[in-house]
Amino acid sequence: MIEGILIGLTTALTLQNILMVMVGCFFGTIIGMLPGLGPMTAIALMIPITYGFDPATGLILMAGVYYGAVFGGSTSSILLNAPGVPGTVATSFDGYPMAQQGKAGKALAIAAWSSFAGGTLSAIYLLFMAPSLSKVSLSFRSPDYFALMILGLTAIAAFSSKGQFLKAMMMVVLGLMLASVGQDSLSDITRFTFNNMNLTDGISFVLVVMATFAMSEALTIILKRNDPTSAAKQVSLTELGSIKINKEERSKMYKTIPRSSIIGFLIGVLPGAGATIASFLAYGMERNVVNDEEKEKFGKGSVNGLSAPETANNAACSGSFVPMLTLGIPGSGTTAVMLGALLGFGVQPGPRLYMTNPEIFWSIIMSMYIGMVILLILNLPLIPYIARILAVPKNYLIPLILFFSVTGIYVMSFNNFDIYLMIGIAVVATFLRLYDFPMPPLILAFVLGGLMEENLRRSLLLSNGSWEFLWDRTLTLCILLTTILIVVWHLYKSIIRK
Amino acid sequence: MNINTTKVISLLFFIFSVFYLYTAYQIQVFAFDENAPFNARTFPIYLGYAGLFFSGLKLILPEPNNIKVDHKNLEYKKTVILIVIAIIYGATILKVGYFLTTSLFLFSSYYFLGERRWVLMFLLSFPFVAAFMYLLHGILDIYLRDPFLQSIGVMG
């Protein structure tokens, strides 16, 4: 492991990679602050830029964007009570009241230090857990992988759908259907191409991500007359107050951070869960753990109430890398985008990544530490100024998002058809978003589609066409039962709700 | 009669799944693969049935939270204009080239979204695209096809 850490440090500490983390954190912070534009959009917009780098540098850049976006979401939660990403909703419960009491600077400092501590601690957990899990996952067979992918898709549908499980499952199926377009990987038989040569290689992952996130989010903002930047115009540089944290506040954070980081990391590891659930759980747990006097302060500007979700959401970000790096199965929409980008680089994440591409595996982990330090250095003193940058009118913001989306496709294929297809998918996605059809399940399904078919193919061929492979192995059966439990529970909830 | 749009979307998805399933059954597989436990049409067939299952359930089960979208408050005009500009951009980018079409796309999008600060609009279109092109093409070595700039000798 020491050798791996050194490899990772050597890669991550090159001037280019440090610069990439800085650019990623800065860019991610700005995008993450804008309500509605989360880490997935930020990463999607960065994909064309990463084409110019090697896989490790590209992934380091995207990881920086990820942390930056989560942190940026906290800033808008605290200053504007407008969470940039769902994972920072819980931050606003106590962060915004603190800001209203004239302690915005202090709230931002608590959020920054908690994010830093949460991210750093979880990167340490990842450091120890990922290699061990990689070794364990080498014993996984095709049926286990197939069952795990079904579980991942079901879980993300369950967690991201806000009570609309069936809508999310429809998006999962749609994502898998889109992934099935093009040549079959084994027989080279074309499917669903309708004799269109442009579809022979299938639909590009970048195209789907750009269409369903960047482009459709831009169209949704225009359609709904939202202005994500309007609230930022009200931020005053002079009313932020001191960023100093006193001894009493520090001692509260010392207790909150370790427990919230563990919760955040473990939730992040679970497929589909992620930063939102982690932050809410950490907030709830913290409220139950503190004494009655402190409990009274929750919702009115509690230090514990702010520190807990901030620690947990950053810890969950690192945790979500575990299934992606070790199993090759992303646990969240954001890591699905990163997985897709990795596949685009020709790198296959999974248990063997640890052995075949140690520089990628370790440099991502090591860049997390560096990213956290940079976020702290960059964001703490610069936040008020970054918040002012957000006063860019949507009249400029929207065309720029569309421009980045089209450029991403243009540099990839030099093909008009792809641009038309992207616009078509974006229009459909915008319409579906209006009626609360979630997009992360679609992306995760699209990324996993090929792998899922491959593992089903192997499993069915090995079992001679029998579906017994689903219960032949205890591990497969356990994963399958968990999936069934999630489906039945959510269907039951759908039925009894009326 | 008040039609629930979510149900209409579910119905459309159901019809789409029927079409997908029909097309999946039409996939030509090799003769020796016809009765194999798994061939090119197996997975799509399962997906077609899954689509029918979930959209069918959505149609049958009661709607937990009925989402009402106020269409009067939606900005259809600007959205459609933006989509049309994006389509024109996509249609011309290869023939005319990246620099000119992208700059014009940005400039016209700012204009149609209501912006009238001409100097800022210009700065955030032509010089901005030139700088971005330099970053991609010059620094990151990402090839950008541009017949217009090539014809006037700016790009090699």
Cα separation, B5 vs B17, in Å, equals: 18
Q: What are phi and psi of A84, to 5 degrees?
A: -70, -35
What are the residues whose beta carbons fall under 8 Å from the beta carbon of A281, sequence distance 6 or more?
A263, A267, A312
**Residue B47 to residue A398, Cβ atoms within 8 A:** no
Which residue of chain B has the CA closest to A169? B54
- Within 8 A of A420 by CB-CB distance, chain B residues are 87, 90
**Could you tell me the pLDDT band of residue A151, with boundaries at 50, 70 and 90?**
confident
8 A C-beta contact, residue B142 and residue A48: yes
**Residue B86 to residue A191, Cβ atoms within 8 A:** no
Query: Residue A272: its pLDDT value, please?
Result: 62
Cα separation, A402 vs A398, in Å, equals: 6
Its pTM surpasses 0.90? no
Q: Which of A170, A192, A423, A468 to mutate to test the interface with B (most CBs of B within 10 A)?
A: A170
**Residue B124 to residue A396, Cβ atoms within 8 A:** yes
Cα separation, A319 vs B126, in Å, equals: 42
Which residue of chain A has the CA closest to B122? A396
Cα separation, B102 vs B146, in Å, equals: 11
Residue A234 has pLDDT above 70, yes or no: no
Residue A238 has pLDDT above 60, yes or no: no
- Within 8 A of A180 by CB-CB distance, chain B residues are 43-44, 47
CA angle A10, A16, A17 (to 5 degrees): 55
What are the residues whose beta carbons fall under 8 Å from the beta carbon of A250, sequence distance 6 or more?
none
Cα separation, A474 vs A492, in Å, equals: 26
In the block, residue with structure tokens 């191409």? A193
Q: Could you say which of A187, A407, A414 has the minimum Cβ distance to residue B33?
A: A187
Query: Residue A200: its pLDDT value, please?
Result: 92
Q: What are phi and psi of A71, to 5 degrees?
A: -65, -40
Burial A102-128 (b: 16+ CB within 10 A, else e): ebbbbbbbbbbbbbbbbbbbbbbbbbe
Question: Three-state SS for B144?
Answer: coil
Helices and strands of chain B, counted as H and E runs:
7, 0
| Low-confidence residues in chain B, pLDDT < 50 | 1
Q: Which of A53, A190, A217, A395 to mutate to test the interface with B (most CBs of B within 10 A)?
A: A395
Phi-psi map region of B114: left, alpha, beta (phi>0 left; psi -120 to 50 alpha): left
Query: What length is written for chain A?
Result: 498
Residue A333 has pLDDT above 80, yes or no: no
**Residue B102 to residue A498, Cβ atoms within 8 A:** no
Residue B155's Cβ-side half-sphere holds a number of Cα atoms within 13 Å equal to: 18
Type of residue at A266: L
**Could you tell me the pLDDT band of residue A181, with boundaries at 50, 70 and 90?**
very high
Q: What are phi and psi of B35, to 5 degrees?
A: -105, 15
Query: Residue A44: its pLDDT value, please?
Result: 80
pLDDT in tens, A410-437: 887 888 899 999 999 999 999 998 888 9
Q: What are phi and psi of A426, to 5 degrees?
A: -65, -40
DSSP code per residue over A26-93:
HHHHHHHHSTT--HHHHHHHHHHHHTTS-HHHHHHHHHHHHHHHHHHHHHHHHHHS--SSGGGHHHHH
- Domain assignments of chain B as residue spans, ordered by start: 5-68, 73-151
CA distance B25 to chain A (A): 10
**Could you tell me the pLDDT band of residue A490, with boundaries at 50, 70 and 90?**
confident
> Which has the higher per-residue pLDDT, A191 or A47?
A191
Cα separation, A21 vs A353, in Å, equals: 22
Residue A36 has pLDDT above 70, yes or no: no
Query: Residue A374: its pLDDT value, please?
Result: 84
pLDDT in tens, A159-170: 765 667 889 999
8 A C-beta contact, residue A154 and residue A175: no
Structure tokens at B40: 């090119």
Cα separation, A118 vs A114, in Å, equals: 6
Residue A173's Cβ-side half-sphere holds a number of Cα atoms within 13 Å equal to: 26
Residue A236 has pLDDT above 60, yes or no: no
Cα separation, A232 vs A363, in Å, equals: 35
Type of residue at B140: L
Residue A227 has pLDDT above 80, yes or no: no
Residue A391 has pLDDT above 70, yes or no: no
Residue A52 has pLDDT above 90, yes or no: no
CA distances from A261 to A117, A314, A345, A395 (A): 8, 8, 32, 39
Residue A231 has pLDDT above 60, yes or no: no
Most distant CA pair in chain A, distance: 71
**Residue B141 to residue A186, Cβ atoms within 8 A:** no
* ipTM of predicted assembly, 2 dp: 0.93
Query: Residue A311: its pLDDT value, please?
Result: 93
pLDDT in tens, A341-375: 878 777 777 777 777 777 777 777 777 778 888 88
CA A493 to chain centre: 27
Question: Three-state SS for A288?
Answer: helix
8 A C-beta contact, residue A161 and residue A168: yes
Residues 26-45 of B with CB under 8 A from A: 27-30, 33, 36-44
Residue A387 has pLDDT above 70, yes or no: no
Residues 45-104 of B with CB under 8 A from A: 47, 50-51, 54-55, 57-58, 61-65, 67, 69, 73-76, 78-79, 82-83, 86-87, 89-91, 93-94, 98, 102
What is the pLDDT averaged over residues A206-215? 86
